[in-house]
Amino acid sequence: MRLKVLIVDDEALARARLRTLLGDCTAPAASVAAEAANATQAVEWLQRQKADVALIDIHMPGADGLTLAQTLRTLPSPPAVVFVTAYAEHAVRAFELEAVDYLTKPVRLERLQAALQKVERLMQSSRGLESDLPEEVLIIQDRGRTERVPLSQVLYLKAELKYITVRTAAKSYILEGSLSELEEKYPTRFMRIHRNALVARHAVRALEKHHDPQEGEGWAVRLNSLDELLLVSRRQLAAVRELVAG
């Protein structure tokens, strides 16, 4: 298992040191998904992407790390929080915000490794609880019968006139509803790539140059288990690039 890490620190040298230390971590291994120099950048990134853990400095310009941690708790899938700071006096407040750990600078590799192990155990425990929950499904009315299609099997949702095409690897379904409502209801599962299409984040395999007869030169995504390409609008291109790179 490799943990995806977001580093949040206003000092470039501090971010670089953490990146180096994370490269030396082995159990669990970790990779830096992104860096942010302030709370605003961190929140903007996490609204588009996911990280397993955020390593957060406390003293930063603008909103400090404690305020950021409080904000992250409102996200649909917040990362675990580990504070990394030169100041020890905020530890009590940090743990009130349910921080997994509190590291003081200069950070030692063994302490960082121990913090990541706590995150890993927390994630394993959380997955165990989730496995006991009923799986989320879409209720599809199809030719007089009702089908329950697990969301985990849905590869994309595409608006077609007054209906939505729900595509799995095995078949397509027709669903009445609003694409925007589905996007709002399941933001961690699906991302918008075009005004008429949402794709499952886990299913995106590649971003490719593509020529469309109507829209001309552009980009499209290729999904796991499907041959067809789905167009990406210029507005959504940066977010899709980040997802593929992450």
Query: pLDDT tens digits, residue range 32-43?
Result: 999 999 999 999
Q: Do residue 23 and residue 125 come from a single domain?
A: yes
**pLDDT exceeds cutoff 60 at 130:** no
Mean pLDDT of the chain: 90
Chain position carrying tokens 């799986």: 135
**pLDDT exceeds cutoff 60 at 75:** yes
Q: Do residue 174 and residue 95 come from a single domain?
A: no
Chain position carrying tokens 């041959």: 227
Q: Do residue 164 and residue 225 come from a single domain?
A: yes
The answer to whether the beta carbons of residues 16 and 7 sit under 8 Å apart is no
Token couple for 171: 């078949």
Query: Which of 98, 130, 162 is a domain's end point?
Result: 130
Q: Do residue 201 and residue 148 come from a single domain?
A: yes
Query: Which of 130, 150, 179 is a domain's end point?
Result: 130
Q: Do residue 226 and residue 119 come from a single domain?
A: no
Q: Do residue 38 and residue 91 come from a single domain?
A: yes
Q: Do residue 154 and residue 230 come from a single domain?
A: yes
Q: Do residue 179 and residue 82 come from a single domain?
A: no
**pLDDT exceeds cutoff 80 at 227:** yes
Q: Do residue 54 and residue 160 come from a single domain?
A: no
Q: Do residue 92 and residue 144 come from a single domain?
A: no
**pLDDT exceeds cutoff 70 at 90:** yes
pLDDT in tens, 139-190: 888 777 788 899 999 999 999 888 999 999 989 999 988 999 999 989 889 9
Q: Do residue 166 and residue 233 come from a single domain?
A: yes
> HSE (CB half, 13 Å, CA atoms) of 6?
27
Q: Is the pTM of this model over 0.85?
A: no
pLDDT at 195: 93
Beta bridge partners of 223: 204
Query: Which of 68, 96, 130 is a domain's end point?
Result: 130
- Residue 52, CA distances (Å) to 35, 204, 207 in order: 14, 19, 24
Range of the domain at 102: 2-130
pLDDT at 192: 95
